[in-house]
Amino acid sequence: MNGRTAAARRAQGVGCFLLALAGFAAYDAFAKHMVAVHPPALVNLGRYVAVCSMALAVLLRHGQWRLWRAPHQRLLLARSLMLGVVATCFMTALVTMPLAEATAIYFTAPLLMVALSPWMLGEPVRRAEWAAVWLGFAGMLCIVRPGGSLPWTGTTLMAVAAVCYALFQLLTRRLSGRVPAPVQFSYMAVVCLAVTSLPMLFGPLPPWPGAAAFGLLVAGGFVSGAAQLLLLAAFRRAELATLAPLNYLQLLMAVMISAWWFGRTPDGPALAGIGLIALAGVWLARARHLPAPQT
């Protein structure tokens, strides 16, 4: 591959990556709007009905539809369960949490991934990387400050989502090269559909929306699924070192959408905290080539 062709592929990868970030930000805003009308579990149901249909198409295309015969079943199940918990906590937290602050807390996941990597992957963490982790933690404290206006239930759920997403990424690292990406994507879709639907079994069933309303939830799910596929396409075309620092543009998108769509701009300390988390994340991304968060 000559230099011009490599540059063109890299540019395509960056384009796919930016479209993926826009898709994730748009879906988060859509979900924030929908959970004001529908229970979070129902919003997730629409999402994963769409993602599962996309996963089926991917499996049929690659001829790998026998998920029960995939290797490393325990790791696949643990990885998928972590993302199911992430989706459940994230969607439930959005009921009470402002979008920008919720996204910022969630974006501490790459920092948590670094903090956990010595125990789960046996990878050493340098002092500079620990400094970035603590910088991101300080940023989170600026957002979730004692006496602040953020609801503690939503904040706790978003923190759990961040921890579980860090574990999801660490398990993804362990599966890298062992299980094909289409199988990982499809296994995740099926398990997340089951896990995120569980809350509907505990308590009265929510009123079922009409066909048009549920169709809208499914359409939003296709946006989420398309963003995940764009992310995979980006990683096939561009180096992780090029893409990783761009992750935190999604934080900027969340702040802009929160101000424009929901009429709520984070206050000064929260904006400072968002900036610290982004700075720490870019620092670590350049050092470690961290993957992009997904929601």
Band (53; pLDDT cuts 50, 70, 90): very high
Tell me the per-residue pLDDT of 141-162, one tens digit each, with 9 for 90 and over. Answer: 888 876 567 888 999 999 999 9
The number of folded domains in the chain is: 1
Residue 207 forms part of a structural domain: yes
SS (H, E, C) the chain: CCHHHHHHHHHHHHHHHHHHHHHHHHHHHHHHHHCCCCCHHHHHHHHHHHHHHHHHHHHHHHCCCCHHHCCCHHHHHHHHHHHHHHHHHHHHHCCCCCHHHHHHHHCCHHHHHHHHHHHHCCCCCCHHHHHHHHHHHHHHHHHCCCCCCCCHHHHHHHHHHHHHHHHHHHHHHHHCCCCCHHHHHHHHHHHHHHHHHHHHHCCCCCCCCCHHHHHHHHHHHHHHHHHHHHHHHHHHHCCHHHHHHHHHHHHHHHHHHHHHHCCCCCCHHHHHHHHHHHHHHHHHHHHHCCCCCCC
Distance CA 57, CA 59 (A): 5
Tell me the per-residue pLDDT of 61-91, one tens digit each, with 9 for 90 and over. Answer: 766 667 767 778 888 999 999 999 999 999 9
Residue 293 forms part of a structural domain: no
Residue 183 forms part of a structural domain: yes
Given this model, what pLDDT does residue 70 score? 74
Task: Average the pLDDT over 171-188 and give the result.
Answer: 81
Range of the domain at 137: 3-288
Band (291; pLDDT cuts 50, 70, 90): low
Band (206; pLDDT cuts 50, 70, 90): confident
Instruction: Give, in order, the Cα–Cα distances in Å from 259 to each of 26, 90, 255, 286, 294.
Output: 14, 20, 6, 29, 22
Residue 294 forms part of a structural domain: no
Given this model, what pLDDT does residue 153 score? 92
Residue 65 forms part of a structural domain: yes
Distance of CA 203 to the CA centre of its chain: 27
Residue 240 forms part of a structural domain: yes
Residue 295 forms part of a structural domain: no
Residue 157 forms part of a structural domain: yes
The tokens of 81 are what? 């369960």
